[in-house]
Every structure is written in structure tokens, then in C-alpha cells.
Amino acid sequence: MILVTGATSVIGQKLCDLLVENNKQFRAMCRKEDQLEKLRARGIDAVLGDFEKPESLRLAMKDCTSMFLVSPPNEKQLECETKAIDIAKQENVEYIVRVSASDANLRSLVPWAKNHAHIDHYLRASGIAWTILKPTAFMQNFLTMTKPISKGYLPQVGGKGLVGYIDAQDIGSVAYNVLTKGDHKLATYYLNGPETLEMKDAAKLISKAIEKKVRYLNLPSFAFRVLLRATGASKWLANGLIEQYAQVVAKHHDHDLGEEVLRLTGHQPRSFLEFAKENKGKFLDR
């Protein structure tokens, strides 16, 4: 039995779809009643679980031997995931596949990158068998900028930095294969899309997909911070995003392309243009 945390995320949804299609035994964990009802309506064994409520995790893990571990980046991520690993050990979970980040580093000034590194170290020292997935930036991150994109501009602080953006659905496909095929224990996989792109390249591809000119605006950090805060981002999130794009991306510290998605799934990862076309309506803000 596999426990899928984050079952309603893009990654989790793809993983659940593949598990259903291939008749694998699993349990999906979600946080809200309406999500629970939708999963159960599909015949999926689903439970409510909250990383901040240890007893709900314990119940979700009951009788599970493997766990797919993913959680949203927030200020409690380190505490929540290390606690989940502790509970998994107590509940005799034998194997954890975890989504980390390609820029995870114990000394990183990007808060979630630092948290991911600490969680990775904690998992490796837990005594539970593990596989760690380290994707680069998600294509889905561009969906947080649909309003300015619909008005014809893409604001960022990424300079001319190159990123091998990955569609989160491909991470779900990798997770399925790692959880169900072959022995991937004690392996760390860096995951990326099929191409490296500058922000201006991403803007051009979105323009092509939506048939409307979108121009990249390389903003100064203070202006981007104001924009992020005005659109509801917390101070913690805004500062982290600026550090990630103005330092890691703009200063060319993102990792280069690899072929792990193809090797692990048997198919090429989705291109940015495919992603943009699929989300045309969202980028047009309608």
C-alpha cells in the first residue's frame, strides 16, 4: 500500500491517475472535505490528513509500506515533513519517495531550498529507505503571473538566467515509476524539462501559444517585491522568490539539463510550448 500525500497537487494528481490506470493499491491524502469526496467518487481510497496534525498522519499511514512525500513550501515545511518522517518510522513505513528541489542547499538564502536540504539530510539519516526527486523550477509557477501576462507582460527578476523548467506532471510520472518499477532506493534524481529557457524565451513561447504579444520585463528587486506583496505574497515568500531568481537564476547557478525523466519514464518531458498551449485560457485570464 502506497500513501500519496499532496494528492490534489499537480504532481499528486498525475501520480494518482497513473496508480489508478495501472490498478495499484494506494491511499490518497488530502486536506479538505470536498477534495475527499471527489477522490472517493473515483473509487480511490482517500483520507483527510494534515501535516500539522500528527494523529491524522498516523491514521493515513496505517497499513502503508511506502509513502510519497510532498508538501507546499511554507515556513512550517521543515517541521512538518521531519515530523511526518518520524511518524512514518513509528508506523513501519519502509520506503519514502520525497520531492525536494534542485537548488536545495544547507547554506542557501532561499528559505525553501534550505528547508529542503535539511529535510533531505533528515530522511537519509532516518533509517527508512528513500529516493529523493530534485526537480528544477515548475512550469506551473508561471500560472501565478496570469494577470500581467494577460495584459502583455511577464515581470520577473531572472535576468538572462537559464532554467530547464519542468512540467509538474512529469514529476508525477517519475514518482509513479520510482514507486512501482525497479529498485531506486538510496537514489537522488535531478529532474528537468527538455530545454533551458531565459525569461524572454518563456515570454516568446507564451506569446506563440496565446497568439498575443507578451514582453519580458526584468524588474529591479525592489519593484518585484512591491508587485509580489501587492498580489498577496507573504514577506517570507516574496523575499525567497527574489533571492531565488535574482541570485540563483540571474547569476547562472541553476543546474544544467539531464535525461533522468526520459530514462525513468521512457518518454521525453513535456516542452514549455506544450504547457503554454494547454493553459492558453488561463494566460488570457479567462
Q: Is the pLDDT of residue 254 over 90?
A: no
- Distance of alpha carbon 184 from alpha carbon 31, whole angstroms: 29
- Unique residue bearing C-alpha cell 490498478: 23
Reported confidence tier of residue 233, pLDDT bands at 50, 70, 90: confident
- Distance of alpha carbon 240 from alpha carbon 75, whole angstroms: 11
Query: How confident is the model over 24-62, as pLDDT tens digits?
Result: 999 999 999 999 999 999 999 999 999 999 999 999 999
Distances (CA, A) of 246 to 11, 150, 199, 201, 253: 26, 24, 12, 17, 10
Give the pLDDT mean for 8-36: 97
Collapsed DSSP state (helix, strand, coil) of residue 240: helix
The pLDDT value given to residue 286:
60
Q: Is the pLDDT of residue 183 over 90?
A: yes
Where is average pLDDT lowest: 118-122, 145-149, 168-172, 260-264?
145-149
- Burial bucket for residue 104 (CB in 10 Å: 0-12, 13-18, 19+): buried
Q: 17, 128, 127, 16: which is closest to 70 by C-alpha?
A: 16
> How many Cβ atoms sit within 10 Å of the Cβ of residue 246?
20
Give the pLDDT mean for 54-77: 95
pTM above 0.75, yes or no: yes
Contact predicate 2/24, CB 8 Å: yes
